[in-house]
A and B are shown apart, each in its own frame.
Chain A
Amino acid sequence: DTGVSQNPRHKITKRGQNVTFRCDPISEHNRLYWYRQTLGQGPEFLTYFQNEAQLEKSRLLSDRFSAERPKGSFSTLEIQRTEQGDSAMYLCASSHGHGGNEQFFGPGTRLTVL
């Protein structure tokens, strides 16, 4: 399977705990994106990487959120001191580059904060 993969698919945690999600993009894609999607809404942009460089972060990404892509391949998104408002689907996507190249999405990680 050469699509975008995300792990875990589901995560249930207690408020105040830290969580980390992983995204493995399509291997030849140099751009990687993180989005958050809540029920009934479209995905909201969080951040993106070109190779290992994090080029943009949304203001939605508070200081409790951090993302890395250390070798320009897989990426991790960590949420520290989770809050109930962090409950959402976290989507990862990758693409060759910008312009007309569509983003290919992974299946998402659904986070539930109790």
Chain B
Amino acid sequence: AQKITQTQPGMFVQEKEAVTLDCTYDTSDPSYGLFWYKQPSSGEMIFLIYQGSYDQQNATEGRYSLNFQKARKSANLVISASQLGDSAMYFCAMREDTNAGKSTFGDGTTLTVKP
């Protein structure tokens, strides 16, 4: 069964600094996708970045990058140059390609950016 673990309930970062949000996953499927979403206090889930299990390079999207370590089954999100607007809940999610309809989410990490 697929499982996502986010061990950091809350994180603080100083504005303009980088921060890493941890995510580990468990799956027996060789083909899967990993996603990160941001959920501000308004409640809407916003897609940030995607990493496929067969992708050779780590995914990057602007200030977001995904540190994918397949052997360790980790998919950490790195946010560079943090901004006050980055304060939100962040969710890691996985979808197995053999079970392509269902995404499993972690319990999230609350990030607070300090001015």
Interfacial residues, chain A to chain B (CB-CB below 8 A):
31, 33, 35, 40-45, 48, 50, 55-56, 58, 89, 91, 93, 97-100, 102-108, 110
Contact = CB atoms under 8 A, between A and B. Distances in A.
Contact of B45 (A40, A41, A93): A93
A26 to B, nearest CB: 12
Given A89-B43, A105-B45, A100 B103 contact: no
Contacts of A40: 107-108
B63 interface: no
Interface residues of B, number: 26
Interface of B: 4, 33, 35, 37, 42-47, 50, 52, 91, 93, 95, 97, 99-108
A79 to B, nearest CB: 20
12 contacts: A33-B103, A35-B105, A42-B91, A45-B103, A50-B101, A98-B95, A98-B97, A98-B100, A98-B101, A102-B47, A103-B35, A107-B43
B50 A100 contact: yes
B107 A43 contact: no
Contact of B91 (A43, A100, A104, A107): A43
Contacts of A42: 4, 91, 93, 105-108
Give the 7 A-B CB pairs with smallest separation, nearest first.
Answer: A98-B100, A42-B105, A105-B45, A48-B101, A102-B47, A45-B102, A56-B101
Contacts of B44: 105-108
